[in-house]
Structure 1
Amino acid sequence: MKKRLRIIAGVNPSEGGPIEGIRQQAPFHAAAGIEEHVVSLDPPDAPWVQNFPLTVFGLGEPLGSVPEWKRRLPWRRYGYRPALLPWLKAHVRDYDVVTVHGLWNYSTMAARLALVGSGVPYLAQTHGMLDPWFKHNFPVKAAGKQAFWLFNEGPLLNNAGFVLFTTEEEKILARESFGPYRVNERVIAYGTSDPGPFKPEHAEAFRAAAPKLKKPYLLFLSRVHPKKGCDLLIDAFADVCRDRDDLDLVMAGPASDEYLAELKAQAAQKGIGDRIHWPGLLRGDAKWGAFHQAEAFVMPSHQENFGIVVAEAMACSRPVLITNKVNIWREVTASGGGLAENDDLAGTARCLAAFLEMPPEARALMGARAREAFLRHFQVSQSAKDVNAACLDAIASRT
């Protein structure tokens, strides 16, 4: 295997885990002699395209060239970009194997039209987008997705060499979503790079991002989105920490203006508005400073097929407080590196209270065990090996 193409909707780092996984695996694949390219729906002149560590073919229109009214059209919101399908049909045979990332957008429709029946070996990675949580919580959208499944996502996945999952839990849950479901399932390791030891520049960068923070803190770091249980965390923090003013909460990550305003209003109503800090998207030294100095990492998510930020927190020896809807919760709790509860207010409050009642030495031991579990389960080097093995087997099955 010499050349691999990855198809994904976008490479903007604010989109979360899937693109971060590609970015972190890139050096290991390069060291194995694999040339990787990415094709996306991004504007070709977007800074995140220009700065990505792999060659990216951004096939959207240049920044600022599409008026606001046009961007709101349904097919534009779905991701339709007319240049993608002709490009794929012209170029997929230049690669030994193709990996399709994500579902329910035009990049996957173009991938299906270009790949199914082409003879080109390909794999698909759903990144949790077949979790039945969406089906149960958004039944109207789920009905529409079932229609899409019949003519697009289903044929794409059912004809893939492998559909890749990052945990057994994700694989089993995916079977409950849409049908007919006849995919060739494969579980691969997934993880992140080891950030290494804490450095003074990490602390300086994080202080600059959150200048009003003076107390110990709990850290949420992810997309600020309803799926992540942000409202639960604010209410639980208010309930559990109301009488202890020695602890603040940092809510770090990108958010829509509307949802951010809603959460800030909720915090103010609960009387803790001045104890929550909103530094936005953290990268590099500022992100590692936030992780390393937190008392614990908290993410009461309603659905998470892996949770790359959970692994990052564990790499920094931080206890992780999550829900049993984060699909690595069994590994977390079995290792002693964190706690997991139900994804509701009572569960989130129990999780916070249980951790805060632990003596300092028990918290330190939990952090050390989190680090051990990261080294054992969640290093990106093993993920890169598993991805390559799956690609080689998909290629072999076509020859």
Structure 2
Amino acid sequence: MKILQIVTLFSPDAAYGGPIRVALNQSKALQDNGHDVTIAAGERGYAVPPTHEQGIALKLFSARTVIPKIGYAGIGAPSMLVWLHKHIREFDVVHIHLARDLVTLPAAKLALAYGIPVFAQTHGMIDETDKLLAKPLDAALTIPVLKRARTVFYLTEREHADLQSVVGDGHLNLVELNNGIPEAEDLESRPCNSYDPPEVLYLARLQARKRPQVFVEAAKELLDSGHTARFSI
């Protein structure tokens, strides 16, 4: 199967965060299972944009600030839409890491217009909001895309509730999808000072939805069960 993944922004400093990592991990797993996967995205900050990462083909297009002062939501990639018009029918399905922005929403609308099955994954980015620009954007793009998507993936119950609230009475095919990660290298095979216990790092924004308390609970459980390690936030 030929699969196109679409995400908002690649940059050398990975500023867009989690959705890029999820897209790469998913693509690698799909490719390892025999599928042909390409990731398309906006890009900024590269002297020469990469064409591959971790063995995954990338199609990166210059990202522009279409609407200033609203962060990632104001980013667009017009040249991506031109490329999609020419190539979208080469793909069997499109998996879009959907956000309220002018990269992923127009791409999703275009894929649906060509009759390509769309699978949307929102990463908590489409939530209840009182931002003035969200209402017209949701009416014009977000809600129609979510309603017509073959499947909308969610990670948490809060995200599930937010998506239903945004769409209102519309039907969504909501499916839970956990974030998979590659298997870690066996710690025993790594050279280290035998006197130093391994260190486990929690690296994220320190906010409730990132669940730092779960990290603390897991650390306590491991230590209480006899494991030796250091845990850092």
Paired-residue identity, %: 22
Secondary structure of residue in 1 paired with 2:9 = coil
In the TM superposition, 1:195-274 aligns within 5 A as 195-198=184-187, 199-200=190-191, 219-222=201-204, 228=205
Cα distance between partner residues in 2 of 1:202 and 1:194: 23
Amino acid at match of 1:194: E
RMSD over aligned CA atoms reads 3.5
Cα distance between partner residues in 2 of 1:109 and 1:197: 40
Does the Cα contact within 8 Å between 2:51 and 2:59 map onto a contact in 1? no
C-alpha deviations, 1:100-135, integer Å up to 9, x for none?
A: 112111112321331233211111100111344xx2
Does the Cα contact within 8 Å between 1:4 and 1:95 map onto a contact in 2? yes
Tell me the TM-score normalized by structure 1: 0.47
Cα distance between partner residues in 2 of 1:96 and 1:72: 30
Any stretches of 5+ residues in structure 1 without a counterpart?
62-69, 204-215, 223-227, 229-298, 305-309, 311-320, 323-328, 339-354, 356-361, 369-399
Correspondence for 1:174? 163
In the TM superposition, 1:381-392 aligns within 5 A as none
Is residue 2:184 matched to residue 1:303? no
Cα deviation, residue 44, structure 1: 9.5
Cα distance between partner residues in 2 of 1:38 and 1:10: 11
Secondary structure of residue in 1 paired with 2:209 = coil
Any stretches of 5+ residues in structure 2 without a counterpart?
228-233
User: Bigger shift: 49-58 or 158-167?
Assistant: 49-58
Amino acid at match of 1:161: R
Cα distance between partner residues in 1 of 2:141 and 2:151: 16
Cα distance between partner residues in 1 of 2:226 and 2:10: 32
User: Bigger shift: 109-118 or 173-182?
Assistant: 173-182
Cα deviation, residue 197, structure 1: 3.1
Cα deviation, residue 60, structure 1: 0.7
Correspondence for 2:68? 74
Cα distance between partner residues in 1 of 2:33 and 2:155: 22
Alpha-carbon distance change, 118 to 177 in structure 1, aligned in 2, over 3 angstroms: same
Cα deviation, residue 165, structure 1: 1.2
Does the Cα contact within 8 Å between 2:94 and 2:119 map onto a contact in 1? yes
Does the Cα contact within 8 Å between 2:3 and 2:93 map onto a contact in 1? yes
In the TM superposition, 1:128-167 aligns within 5 A as 128-132=124-128, 135=129, 139=130, 141=131, 143-167=132-156
Alpha-carbon distance change, 175 to 45 in structure 1, aligned in 2, over 3 angstroms: same
Correspondence for 1:6? 5
Amino acid at match of 1:55: A
Correspondence for 1:92? 88
Correspondence for 1:273? none
Alpha-carbon distance change, 196 to 158 in structure 1, aligned in 2, over 3 angstroms: same
Cα deviation, residue 186, structure 1: 1.1
Correspondence for 1:337? 218
Alpha-carbon distance change, 197 to 57 in structure 1, aligned in 2, over 3 angstroms: same
Is residue 2:114 matched to residue 1:123? no
Q: Which has the greater radius of gyration?
A: 1
Correspondence for 2:231? none
Cα distance between partner residues in 2 of 1:196 and 1:80: 38
Tell me the TM-score normalized by structure 2: 0.76
Cα deviation, residue 56, structure 1: 1.0
Amino acid at match of 2:203: L
Cα deviation, residue 366, structure 1: 6.2
Counting helix residues as a fraction of each chain, which structure ranks higher? Answer: 1
Amino acid at match of 1:303: R
C-alpha deviations, 1:24-59, integer Å up to 9, x for none?
A: 233321222101001111159556734522111111
